[in-house]
A and B are shown apart, each in its own frame.
Chain A
Amino acid sequence: MNFTLGMFRKKRVNRSFWGSFFLFLLLAVIGAFMVLPLVYAINAAFKPLDEIFIFPPTLFVRNPTLDNFADLINLLSASWVPFTRYIFNTIFITGVGIVGHVLLASAAAYPLAKHRIPGTNVMFKLIVLSLMFTPAVTAIPTYMIMSFLGWVDTYWAVIIPAFSYPLGLYLMKQFMEQIPDALIEAAKIDGATEYRIFWTIVMPNVKPAWLTLIILLFQILWGTDGNGFIYSEQLKTLTSATTNIVQGGIARAGVGAAVALMMMSVPITIFVFSQSRIIETMATSGMKE
């Protein structure tokens, strides 16, 4: 039996029918496990109160309503900081963090990828090592450094460390290694300075990698609550505000689901539109040691 299920590409040899069947089944079952909570969250956001407390509980909504969203907006505007302020804070932190990270990480990646100069080896090894750190390990000393710099309770406490996340530099360096040396040499012979080479030759060539960095950092910053560094209510992020609503128990059931839907729709939408580019970047970046 040497034919395959229609879903699978037919080009390859060495494919047994039962192997494909078994793998497809596995994919379907686990796929359902992955997607059902999200489907439930989406449906719950549109459920009227009597449907949330129905027995037995249902997955799909029967009489969809926007009440939960209306309640959410009422709750958020009832607090003394206007709802739009939280949105602004999150967008500001995310936006500035991403722009700074892409610029600084690219600038640092270029010498690491294309030049053998003293110190770069040690630096890159440190960066690979730091991929293994989790923020929890460094939270306390980071707070001390922030308070020493006077950045506690400002946006900068969240934004500036995002500039130097190791993952972005790592991916960018791997991607830049694919730029042909001849291109850089030619520019050098024409008398271009290193800054000029970086800005007019290297940067346009790594545009696809920008997108990957942007998406990865967006996911981190969009979901950040800034707790621990930001205390003023008017500086808090959307995540922080909505978590308070969900945990505080001041909201009626269903608002939580509306919050979930609101928070997850943005990163998922962005990913849908950029998926192929991101994977392409990661594929071409080679990820050599």
Chain B
Amino acid sequence: MSDLQLKNKVRGVPPKERSLRRRERRQQKIHQIKINKHLYILMAPYMILFLLFTILPVLLSIVISFTYFNMLEMPKFVGWQNYTRLFLEDDIFLIALKNTFLFAAITGPVSYLACFIFAWIINELSPKLRAFMTLIFYAPSISGNVFFIWLLIFSGDRYGIINGLLIKLGILLEPIQWLKTEAYIMPIIILVQLWLSLGTGFLAFIAGLQTVDKTLYEAGAVDGIKNRWQELWYITLPSMKPQLMFGAVIQITSSFAVADVSIQLAGFPSVNYAAETVVTHLMDFGTIRFEMGFASAIATVLFMLMVGSNMIIQKLLRKVGE
């Protein structure tokens, strides 16, 4: 019996009996917990750590965001003050917000599509070539902080590979300070972020494509599907919805959290804050200025942004193939 049916049934009975039944159900639950206590013991270590280091910090962050807190004195409650300051007085936060949205709007969808398209093409290759191409596309994201190699590529003197190439070709006469010129910083970071972004989501897509029922394609061919594009839209995509969802969560989250690439390539702070993101702004206040309340407000805004955009995307993805 579902909860709803139960509720409807309960509604018809007198209050006294209703509370009796509720108690009965609660006792049943407690009984169930008792006989399954070994299962709870199995779960306990992970769950305790999970609550302690993932859920509790998020809740704490929300609480602290309403206080003034400098790690030395006791936190003082200040209401919405951190948030009004953030949105009304902090010009750099608005730059950070704009940059973060730009990152999310470009790297999010592009890397998500790239993950899918390349997984899809690679899936059609022969097994050996498939393994090789998977490695090539996946390697940048697992190479740790190897992206500092891009520092050498975009190096500001004529020995940087881009400058050298452009000068050799006669396009440039003088080397450009790529990472110190406002106009170039964002595109370069977006490029590097894209280079790094074919990670877990990409693997999940490759795995998902291998699970699509092959007989569906034969059936589709009989039913008049003419080319691979129709196959993709009518058969492949609807068959791997769970992976599409999983990939979306991973890509969205990482595209909102850009910071390492920005700090390593453009410096911290970057020229005229051209590469400031919400996360670097958060680090500025959290680890340099020790304004924990304000930093927590930034973290809370970021948290809301991530969860919110995830909800929207998941709603959209549910419509695939409907």
Instruction: Using CB atoms and an 8 Å cutoff, list the residues of chain A in contact with chain B.
Output: 7-9, 12-16, 19, 23-24, 26-27, 30-31, 33-35, 37-38, 40-41, 44, 52-57, 59, 104-105, 107-108, 110-112, 115, 117-120, 123, 126-127, 129-142, 144-145, 160-161, 163-164, 166-167, 169, 193-195, 198, 216, 219, 222-223, 225, 228, 239, 243, 246, 253, 256-257, 260, 263-264, 267-268, 271-272, 275-276, 278-289
**Known contacts being A14-B226, A140-B64, A223-B144, is A133 close to B58, with CB within 8 Å?**
yes
Complex interface: chain A residues within 8 A of B184 (CB):
none
**Per-residue CB proximity of B281-301 to A under 8 Å, as 1/0?**
011001100001001100110
Q: Of all chain B residues, which has the CB nearest A127? A: B50
**Known contacts being A132-B306, A133-B54, A134-B279, is A33 close to B195, with CB within 8 Å?**
yes
B197 to chain A, nearest CB (A): 11
The reply on B39 being an interface residue by CB < 8 A is: yes
- The answer to whether B58 and A37 touch across the interface, beta carbons within 8 angstroms, is no
The reply on B33 being an interface residue by CB < 8 A is: yes
Complex interface: chain A residues within 8 A of B60 (CB):
141, 144-145
Q: Which of B136, B204, B242 contacts A31 (CB 8 A)?
A: B136
Complex interface: chain B residues within 8 A of A223 (CB):
144-145
A133 to B300, CA, bound (A): 11
**Known contacts being A55-B159, A282-B204, is A164 close to B121, with CB within 8 Å?**
no
A54 to chain B, nearest CB (A): 8
The reply on B84 being an interface residue by CB < 8 A is: no
Range of interface residues on B (Cβ < 8 Å): 35 or more
Q: Of all chain B residues, which has the CB nearest A243? A: B145
A24 to B145, CA, bound (A): 30
- The answer to whether B159 and A53 touch across the interface, beta carbons within 8 angstroms, is yes
- The answer to whether A257 and B295 touch across the interface, beta carbons within 8 angstroms, is no
A35 to B118, CA, bound (A): 14
- The answer to whether A275 and B134 touch across the interface, beta carbons within 8 angstroms, is yes
B189 to chain A, nearest CB (A): 14
B292 to chain A, nearest CB (A): 6
A257 to B159, CA, bound (A): 15
B50 to chain A, nearest CB (A): 4
Query: Of residues 53 to 72 in B, which have CB atoms within 8 Å of A's CB atoms?
Result: 53-58, 60-61, 64
A9 to B53, CA, bound (A): 47
Query: Of residues 253 to 281 in B, which have CB atoms within 8 Å of A's CB atoms?
Result: 253-254, 256-257, 259, 279
Q: B interface, by DSSP: helix, strand, loop or mixed?
A: helix
**Known contacts being A31-B137, A239-B145, is A138 close to B42, with CB within 8 Å?**
no
**Per-residue CB proximity of B143-172 to A under 8 Å, as 1/0?**
111101111110000111100110110000
- The answer to whether B56 and A287 touch across the interface, beta carbons within 8 angstroms, is no
- The answer to whether B43 and A52 touch across the interface, beta carbons within 8 angstroms, is no
- The answer to whether B144 and A267 touch across the interface, beta carbons within 8 angstroms, is yes
- The answer to whether B57 and A145 touch across the interface, beta carbons within 8 angstroms, is yes
- The answer to whether B46 and A19 touch across the interface, beta carbons within 8 angstroms, is no
Which 10 A-B pairs rank lowest in CB-CB distance, beginning with the nearest?
A282-B207, A108-B46, A223-B144, A264-B143, A138-B57, A141-B60, A164-B49, A141-B57, A134-B257, A283-B207
The reply on B249 being an interface residue by CB < 8 A is: yes
A230 to chain B, nearest CB (A): 14
A12 to B221, CA, bound (A): 10
Complex interface: chain A residues within 8 A of B303 (CB):
133, 137
A242 to B287, CA, bound (A): 21
**Known contacts being A40-B153, A219-B142, A222-B144, is A279 close to B136, with CB within 8 Å?**
no
14 A-B residue contacts at CB 8 Å? A57-B160, A107-B46, A110-B42, A137-B302, A138-B57, A145-B60, A219-B144, A260-B149, A268-B135, A268-B143, A275-B131, A279-B210, A282-B204, A289-B242
Complex interface: chain A residues within 8 A of B158 (CB):
55
**Known contacts being A16-B227, A30-B118, is A8 close to B125, with CB within 8 Å?**
yes
**Known contacts being A166-B54, A268-B143, is A118 close to B38, with CB within 8 Å?**
no
The reply on B82 being an interface residue by CB < 8 A is: no
A52 to B198, CA, bound (A): 30
A27 to B134, CA, bound (A): 11
The reply on B29 being an interface residue by CB < 8 A is: yes
Complex interface: chain A residues within 8 A of B221 (CB):
13-14
Q: Which of A54, A117, A169, A225 contacts B46 (CB 8 A)?
A: A169
